[in-house]
């Protein structure tokens, strides 16, 4: 049975094969180094940078010799090296644009989670309008998360019985002495005082509130708290508030 013709690489003795592979790799590395020197000329290097270049050069030479002596095909090694270089470039680019990417992620997060506070700078906090055209605000009440519906028609902060119980005000310990006139009729409320409400970086202390006795669907954030803000603005389907 006739043997298939050998490739030019197979006809070379191992030492000569290593020498040729090393020559090719050195040529490729030299081309890359030339491109680097064109972008950053040596005259712009400091003494410490020159030492680093020499150190990395020695490491690179060792790697080239090791690659030349390897039995792996140059094409396979080149593909792997290109993949690692691409990964390195992506990581460097991500680090260089970390602030812009952070702002982009904050915007995307605001659209996906419209009720979560997004700081926009200068003491402003914004919220995206929900699909039902209302604004909802995630806050920490006595350290517990509570989602409020922004309601300019409400007189103050009104909690559902469920939210009130989570933050330490169970209905059986409350006195429902207030009378509220709502669109669904008359209902009663229990007055309480909240030590703290935090909306993102905005913190409100000693806030008067009420616990609704009826089946209120959501806790409400009304005018009594809103009046403590220096500005409330709706722009481009976003609620922007400032303390």
d(CA 76, CA 66): 15
pLDDT tens sequence across 128-159: 888 888 899 999 999 999 999 998 888 889 99
d(CA 139, CA 81): 49
The predicted pLDDT at position 158 comes to 93
Does 9 score more than 50 pLDDT? no
- Token digits of residue 93: 């680019």
The predicted pLDDT at position 98 comes to 62
34 vs 13: which has the higher pLDDT: 34
- Token digits of residue 49: 């940078």
Q: Are residues 69 and 151 in the same domain?
A: no
Comparing 3-17, 39-53, 63-77, the range with the smallest average pLDDT is: 3-17
Among 82, 51, 83, 77, which Cα is nearest to 64's? 77
Does 18 score more than 70 pLDDT? no
Q: Which residues of 101-125 are buried (b: 16+ CB within 10 A; e: fewer)?
A: eeeeeeeeebeeebbbbbebeeebb
Residue 171 lies in a domain: yes
CB 129 within 8 A of CB 114: yes
Q: Which of 25, 56, 76 is the last residue of a domain?
A: 76
Does 161 score more than 70 pLDDT? yes
Q: Which residues of 70-89 are buried (b: 16+ CB within 10 A; e: fewer)?
A: eeeebeeeeeeeeeeeeeee
The predicted pLDDT at position 56 comes to 67
Instruction: Specify the pairing of strand 238-242 against strand 231-235.
Output: antiparallel
Q: Are residues 224 and 141 in the same domain?
A: yes
Residue 143 lies in a domain: yes
Residue 98 lies in a domain: no
Does 8 score more than 60 pLDDT? no
Domain that holds residue 42: 8-76
List of residues 6+ apart from 141 with CB closer than 8 A: 159, 163, 167, 194, 196, 197
Q: Is 225 helix (H, G, I), strand (E, B) or coil?
A: helix
Does 163 score more than 90 pLDDT? yes
Residue 195 lies in a domain: yes
Does 20 score more than 60 pLDDT? yes
Residue 100 lies in a domain: no
CB 10 within 8 A of CB 20: no
Query: Domains in the chain: how many in total?
Result: 2
Q: Bridge partners of 180? A: 187
Instruction: Specify the pairing of strand 178-182 against strand 219-221.
Output: unpaired
Residue 97 lies in a domain: no
Q: Are residues 139 and 204 in the same domain?
A: yes
CB 134 within 8 A of CB 149: yes
Q: Bridge partners of 205? A: 196
Contacts for 163-168: CB closer than 8 Å, 24+ residues apart: 163/219, 164/192, 164/211, 167/141, 167/142, 167/143, 167/194, 168/142
d(CA 228, CA 203): 11
Q: Are residues 133 and 236 in the same domain?
A: yes
**pTM of the complete model:** 0.56
Q: What is the CATH number of the domain that holds 185?
A: 2.40.70.10
């Amino acid at each position: 049975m006739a043997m298939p013709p050998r490739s030019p690489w197979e006809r070379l003795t191992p030492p000569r094969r290593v020498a040729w592979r090393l020559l090719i790799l050195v040529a490729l590395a030299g081309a890359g180094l030339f491109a680097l020197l064109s972008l950053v000329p040596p005259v712009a290097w400091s003494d410490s940078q020159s030492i680093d270049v020499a150190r990395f050069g020695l490491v690179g030479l060792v790697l080239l010799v090791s690659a030349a002596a390897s039995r792996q095909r140059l094409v396979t090694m080149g593909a792997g090296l290109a993949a690692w270089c691409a990964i390195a470039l992506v990581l460097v680019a991500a680090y260089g644009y970390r602030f812009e990417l952070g702002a982009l992620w904050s915007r995307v997060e605001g659209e996906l989670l419209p009720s979560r506070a997004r700081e926009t700078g200068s003491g402003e906090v914004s919220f995206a309008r929900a699909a039902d055209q209302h604004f909802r605000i995630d806050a920490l009440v006595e350290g517990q998360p509570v989602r409020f519906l922004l309601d300019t028609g409400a007189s103050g902060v009104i909690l559902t019985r469920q939210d009130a119980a989570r933050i330490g005000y169970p209905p059986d310990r409350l006195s429902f002495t207030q009378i509220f006139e709502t669109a669904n009729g008359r209902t009663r409320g229990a007055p309480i005082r909240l030590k703290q409400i935090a909306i993102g970086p905005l913190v409100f202390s000693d806030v008067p509130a009420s616990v609704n006795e009826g089946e209120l669907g959501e806790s409400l954030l009304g005018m009594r708290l809103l009046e403590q803000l220096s500005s409330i603005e709706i722009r481009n389907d976003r609620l922007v508030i400032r303390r």
